[in-house]
Amino acid sequence: MDGPLFARLAQNTSDIVFKHFATKPENHVMIIYDTQCELSRNLKEAYEKALHSHVKKSFVDFDSHPVEEIEACAGSLHVNDVVILIQSLSFRVSVYRWRLELFDKGLKVGEHVRLSQILAHEIPNYVSCLTYDYLHTQPLSQKLEKLLNETSHIKVECQKGSVLEFTSRMEKPVINLGDFDTGKVKGGYFPVGEIFSEAKDIEQVNGRVEVFAFPGEDHQMVFTPKPFVVEIKNGYVEDGVFPEEFQPLVQMMRTENPDGKIPVREFGLGLNRGLSKEKRLTEATAWERVAGLHLSLGWKHGAYLKKFKAQKELNQRYHVDIYPDVKRMWISDTLIYENGKFVI
């Protein structure tokens, strides 16, 4: 990584520690990392630079210590201390998400995951999307939240003219801007920047979208050379002509419902200006923050499930995000998105 890019990464990691987590001098910061890919090594070095003057810190190489020893190290931390996990794939510590166990101890936790899936030419994009942007995303999310709470009509227009409409009230929006000091949630994946909701009545979602990206079976993004159409009728995906890589996902999602239906769930608005159709990431978790729209398909989604009484007992296994090639979006009569950016 060249000097200017590394300097920017060091600034971004400093902002993660001292702005996103509001770390104080008395808080210990523990960086648990591996060195299996270039980006994980770069991030570890960037955190070292960012924490140069911070007294209470430690760096733990995940691959050089038994899991029990690493758990003991994290277990020695105190409430409001910070743990940063830098993972070429994803650390396997327990059958549950380790981050949630650390949350239960009162720790603040940030994760960089599946870094090995980010291609070499995408590393500048990853550095860009870690930029602290709260002064932009916070007022933007407030405006979007107000609109989503008041609306009963959302219109999405795609580049080639396809239109999707939500003619339902929306669920209470969930926001992730990385305000991990004052927010209810004390950590999560980086990059950050998202607000999402869902139709209270998913049967009031109808129309067509032109999809240019979706995650493959290997959790890596597939960017199609030509967008394909997904038709949605009364909240469920209709049969259609899909790319070869998308067909197995459709079949998997159909197995979750005795009727073979695939519901449209999350209406997700990524707010991260470091990512775009041109500035891509192959790793699916990070790419989800891209400025624009994603829709989730399938029953597996932790939020808003209570309203689906008949589906509570389903074995929920699949959650697939699709990315429409959006030209414009409206919430009620307010134009919120045009030409690749939010305009409110």
Instruction: Provide the CATH topology of domain 3-117.
Output: Rossmann fold (3.40.50)
Instruction: Indicate the domain borders of the chain.
Output: 3-117, 134-342
Q: What is the pLDDT of residues 199-210, one digit of tens each?
A: 999 999 999 999
Written as one letter, the residue type at 249 is L
| 235-290 residue pLDDT tens | 999 998 899 999 999 998 998 877 889 999 999 999 999 999 999 999 999 999 99
Q: How close are the terminal C-alpha atoms of the chain, in Å?
A: 36
* pTM to 2 decimal places: 0.93
φ, ψ of residue 277 to 5 degrees: the values are -60, -30
pLDDT tens, residue by residue, 12-52: 999 999 999 999 999 999 999 999 999 999 999 999 999 99
Q: Are 180 and 147 in contact (CB under 8 A)?
A: no
Please report which confidence band the pLDDT of residue 130 belongs to, taking 50, 70 and 90 as the band edges: very high
Per-residue pLDDT at 94: 66
pLDDT at site 31: 98
Question: For the chain, what is the radius of gyration of the CA atoms?
Answer: 20
